[in-house]
Structure 1
Amino acid sequence: MEMKRYKVLFVGIGSIARRHIRNMLDIGEQIGAQFEIDAFRRGTDKDYGISDVYQEISDVPDDYDIVFITNPTELHLASIEQFNKKGKNFFIEKPVVSLGQISNARKFEPKIDSVYYVACPLRYNAVINYIKDNIDLNDVISVRSISSSYLPDWRPGQDYRDTYSAHRDLGGGVSIDLIHEWDYLSYLFGFPNSVKSMIGRVSDLEIDSDDYAIYIAQYDKMVAELHLDYFGRNTIREIQLFTREDTIIGDIVGNSIRFLKEGREISFDENRDDYQKRELMHFLDIIEGKTSCDSDYYHALKVLELTQGNI
């Protein structure tokens, strides 16, 4: 069988781009695919497996199979527009755009024959996968999700005050930084009928973005609560399902599911790269026409609206 070759461009080389590149090269070895990776970035270093580096858009070729948008959120919309003719398919990091750009983002018209996939890696986490595939979600009458962690610990070796997360004008703020939770809730249960939100800043962190977001949402036959914060000193990331028969705790950090009444626990052996590789494999299946795009540009905009309490 002839080796599949992909020509790939990364727009921005931060920590998430480096993770994607590492995982992509590992996947290539597993599936017999070759990735030729270029970058559009400020620096000229050809590290992390990068072949060519460009600093002027006019110099960038227009024949990429995949363009990854992995620069700061505030730059996503401009990058999608500027590089739209440079590639066939697009992998866009979450959030798809910043909050202030939603109106303009709706004016962008994706190419009909191209894929615009927006990252949603927790859908591929073992805990969320198990819940989706093995629990009767129609039996859930209430769900409570929480993601609480300490922003200064997020990126070791980097001052949190200098990161985009700390600055609202760069697309930071816990309400959209932790958009993963609303994405997996919509993946499991769909969009709610109504939602109330409290979003603001209460901690002593030296940031101008929101550090907490709390939501209560109403579904046809279920209610949902969601708590997000930047100031929890002990990381908690859980989904709690209240059914008619049991209370089920999905511990995303601890890689486990506990059935409290039944007294049963299921453990999973995986790390972040494992489920992010599954997402990349899914994306490749989408662009090869093997499955449909289940996190497209417009869906991602709808989830982004939801983070602000808008349906």
Structure 2
Amino acid sequence: MLISGYGNIAQRHILNLLSLTSISELVILRRTNACIEDDYGVNTLVYRDLDTALLQHSFDMALVCSPASDHFSQIETLIKSGVPCFVEKPVTTDWKLAEKLLEIHRDHPTPILLGYDLRYTSGFKAVAELINAGVIGEIWRISAEVGQYLPDWRPNKNYQLTVSSQRKLGGGALRELSHELDYLNGLFKFQLHDLKVNSRNHTFLEMDCENEVQVIANAKVAQQAYEPSIYIALDMLSRKTYRRLKVSGSDMDLIWDLVEQKVKLCSDKMESDIDVTENANQPYINLLKEFVEKVQHHDCDNSPILQGIDVMEFIKLIESKAK
């Protein structure tokens, strides 16, 4: 198995895959030749160059956990070599490259999956079922918010040197917190219009890209003809982590607190809590189970790339309206 990148998420994926399937050798692609101190119980090799690794090894699968700026070239090479790819979000740094990947994948069908883990949570499943059942009535507003303090994401690293704070590597709130754009599209299949965007790089953090984005818009959604209003807020500054979705309907509100792992239905007459608690690692396990199954059945469906294109097109639209 090939792993491109060796950050926290790559290490998590390695451990999870080892628990799911038999792996005889790990080949890790990273920018330095530093030895891997972790003992995974299998032969582990380090390369700096993907082409060299491909010349010397055959791979059953690859995990692309490198900076987003490296994704296109690495995925292109792997797909053309017939290596199934699990790709951490976002699929690429912009929609044009994502469209090119789709064309390449059509000519070289290969199993692929994107690492948008929030779709694999119990909370997402519960929310989707409630919304599609029409429990809350006609939706008139959708509000999704997330705030996380960037220096706390990787406490053992200087945040200024990480991907998240560098535009050239695909950093910034829009791409690093694009989970919200993905799960919103998964729930509502929305099309945004009449956008107003406030994108800021607050100087409290030293970075060269946006660390707060607010979007106000109207949207077409799959569930109804009436167009609800949309509010999306992403920030890398909040000292206390929060992540929540509120869907306001004509009959009641639905609130999904992703940190507390609770879904709540409420109105002036009732309040009902749905416990969607699960181990924090479980969505990642679910993701990789699906990837392993796709590899085993040689499922070359291109929907994961289309999913990534949808996110990148939202980002393109938001950036075009940013002030």
Query: Scaled by the length of structure 2, what TM-score is found?
Result: 0.84
Asked if residue 304 in structure 1 is aligned to residue 300 in structure 2, the reply is: no
Report how far residue 276 of structure 1 moved: 0.8
Cross-structure match for 2:64: 69
* 1:20-99 → structure 2 map (5 Å cutoff): 20-28=13-21, 33-34=22-23, 36-41=25-30, 42-46=32-36, 47-49=38-40, 51=43, 52-56=45-49, 57-60=51-54, 61=56, 63-99=58-94
Asked if residue 210 in structure 1 is aligned to residue 200 in structure 2, the reply is: no
What is the rounded CA distance, in whole Å, between the counterparts of 2:302 and 2:143 in structure 1?
24
What is the rounded CA distance, in whole Å, between the counterparts of 2:140 and 2:24 in structure 1?
45
Report how far residue 212 of structure 1 moved: 0.9
Cross-structure match for 2:174: 175
Ranked by relative contact order (alpha carbons within 8 Å, sequence separation 6 or more), the top structure is 2
Report how far residue 213 of structure 1 moved: 1.1
What is the rounded CA distance, in whole Å, between the counterparts of 1:112 and 1:165 in structure 2?
31
Aligned with residue 126 of structure 1, among 116, 119, 122 = 122
Aligned with residue 275 of structure 1, among 283, 286, 309 = 283
What is the rounded CA distance, in whole Å, between the counterparts of 1:134 and 1:169 in structure 2?
40
Asked if residue 107 in structure 1 is aligned to residue 103 in structure 2, the reply is: no
Give the CA RMSD over aligned residues: 2.4
Q: State percent identity of aligned pairs.
A: 26
Residue aligned with 1:307, SS: helix
The residue type paired with residue 271 of structure 1 is N
Residues 124 and 104 (structure 1 numbering): CA distance in 2 closer, same or farther, change over 3 Å? closer
Which structure is higher in strand share?
1
* Residue-by-residue CA offset, 1:254-275 (whole Å, 9 max, x unaligned): 1111222222112233232111
Residue aligned with 1:285, SS: helix
Gap regions ≥5 residues in structure 2: 221-225
Cross-structure match for 1:4: none
Cross-structure match for 1:188: 187
What is the rounded CA distance, in whole Å, between the counterparts of 2:205 and 2:183 in structure 1?
28
- Name whichever of 111-120 and 281-290 sits farther off: 281-290
What is the rounded CA distance, in whole Å, between the counterparts of 1:166 and 1:182 in structure 2?
19
Asked if residue 148 in structure 1 is aligned to residue 142 in structure 2, the reply is: no
User: Is contact 2:202–2:212 with CA below 8 Å preserved after alignment?
Assistant: yes
Report how far residue 27 of structure 1 moved: 2.4
Aligned with residue 223 of structure 1, among 214, 225, 229 = 229
User: Is contact 2:112–2:302 with CA below 8 Å preserved after alignment?
Assistant: no
Residues 126 and 59 (structure 1 numbering): CA distance in 2 closer, same or farther, change over 3 Å? closer
Cross-structure match for 2:253: 247
Residue aligned with 2:160, SS: helix
Query: Scaled by the length of structure 1, what TM-score is found?
Result: 0.87
Asked if residue 259 in structure 1 is aligned to residue 265 in structure 2, the reply is: yes
Asked if residue 163 in structure 1 is aligned to residue 152 in structure 2, the reply is: no
What is the rounded CA distance, in whole Å, between the counterparts of 1:210 and 1:270 in structure 2?
32
Report how far residue 48 of structure 1 moved: 4.8
Residues 85 and 308 (structure 1 numbering): CA distance in 2 closer, same or farther, change over 3 Å? closer
Cross-structure match for 1:135: 131
User: Is contact 2:109–2:300 with CA below 8 Å preserved after alignment?
Assistant: no
The residue type paired with residue 88 of structure 2 is E
User: Is contact 1:91–1:118 with CA below 8 Å preserved after alignment?
Assistant: yes
Which structure is higher in helix share?
2
User: Is contact 1:152–1:160 with CA below 8 Å preserved after alignment?
Assistant: yes
Name segments (4+ residues, structure 1) moved above 4 Å.
290-295
Report how far residue 86 of structure 1 moved: 4.0
What is the rounded CA distance, in whole Å, between the counterparts of 1:306 and 1:195 in structure 2?
13
